[in-house]
Structure 1
Amino acid sequence: MATLLRGEVAAILQPAGTAQYQGAYCPPGVPFAEVRRGPLDGKADIAVRPDPDGTLPRHMTFGGGRIVYEYDGRDGRGRAVYRYAPRLSPAHQDVMRGVAEVYAEHALKKGGSQR
């Protein structure tokens, strides 16, 4: 867990929920469930500073703005939950193309071992 400075709130990054992944890019041959996975899911050693009015920032970005997580409330431990936002993440299509390559390679290996 992150060491919190005065006013900061602990945060955790989670996979996309329906609101974030609906309509997101998914290449052929890849299960749609893969769209939910963000590259930083599960990261819990981060903190966020509320805006002057007390609200938490709507988005958290990483990788120079190429990976976006969207605020989705708090969990039972009081941490701010940010969910992966594939539709808002410029890196998403590149990541999904990489996932598609892995699925294609796996399919080739699996098909080749059945001969």
Structure 2
Amino acid sequence: MATLLRGEVRAILQPAGLAQYQDAYCPPGVPFAEVRRGPFDGKADIAVRPDADGELPKVMTFGGGRVAYEYDGRDGQGRAVYRYAPRLSPSHRDVMNGVAEVYAEHALNKAKGGQ
């Protein structure tokens, strides 16, 4: 668990909610539920520092700015909740194309009688 400095707030990263994934890219053959998944979902050892006005950052990025999570309020434990934001994540299209390849390979194996 992250040690908090004065003024910092614990945060947790969660899958995208409707506001974040609506109209996000989803290739054919991939269930739309896959769009919700972010690479850092569940990470809870994060601390966020409010700005001078006391507001938390609206967006946090990871992976050199390639993955974005959007602020979505507080949970019951008082942690700041950040949800995966596929529309704001530059890597989202590439990741989803990779997911589509896995789904296509699985379908092909299943059609051939494999697993």
TM-score by length of 2: 0.97
The structural deviation recorded for 1:5 is: 1.0
Q: Which runs of 5+ in 2 are unaligned?
A: none
Q: Please show how residues 1-115 of structure 1 align to structure 2 within 5 Å.
A: 1-113=1-113
The structural deviation recorded for 1:39 is: 0.6
d(CA) in 2 for partners of 1:3, 1:98: 36
Runs of 4+ in 1 over 6 A off after TM superposition: none
- 1:27-77 CA deviation, whole Å, 9 max, x = no partner? 000000000000100000111000111110000001111100000000000
The structural deviation recorded for 1:109 is: 1.1
SS at match of 1:61: strand
d(CA) in 2 for partners of 1:2, 1:105: 40
Q: Which runs of 5+ in 1 are unaligned?
A: none
The structural deviation recorded for 1:6 is: 1.0
CA RMSD of aligned residues (A): 0.8
TM-score by length of 1: 0.97
Identity percentage of aligned residues: 83
